[in-house]
Amino acid sequence: MAKISKIVKDSRKPKFSTQHRNRCKCCGRPRGYMRKFELCRLCFRKFALNGELPGVQKSSW
């Protein structure tokens, strides 16, 4: 979990465009971020296994 201060700081417009940091919409984690879903890998897995992400299914072969 990210600190509330970090989430608020990253939500503001940065001074330079390269300072922008993508964060998970659910928990605020900055690493393991997936742009398509706007979630980190941990939240993605949790939601996908619960069937809360449309179009995502667990692969098996």
pLDDT score at 43: 95
pLDDT score at 45: 94
Does this model's pTM top 0.75?
yes
For residue 33, the 8-state DSSP code is E
The radius of gyration of the chain from alpha carbons, rounded to an integer in Å, stands at 14
Q: How many CB atoms lie within 10 A of CB 54?
A: 5
Alpha-carbon separation of residue 54 from 23, 43, 44 (angstroms): 21, 14, 12
The reply to whether 26 sits in an annotated binding site is no
Specify the residue for token string 């179009």. Answer: 55
Would you give per-residue pLDDT tens digits along the chain (61 residues)?
A: 778 888 888 888 888 988 888 999 999 899 999 999 999 999 999 999 999 999 998 888 8
pLDDT score at 13: 86
pLDDT score at 6: 85
The reply to whether 24 sits in an annotated binding site is yes
Indicate the helix (H) or strand (E) that contains 40.
strand 39-40
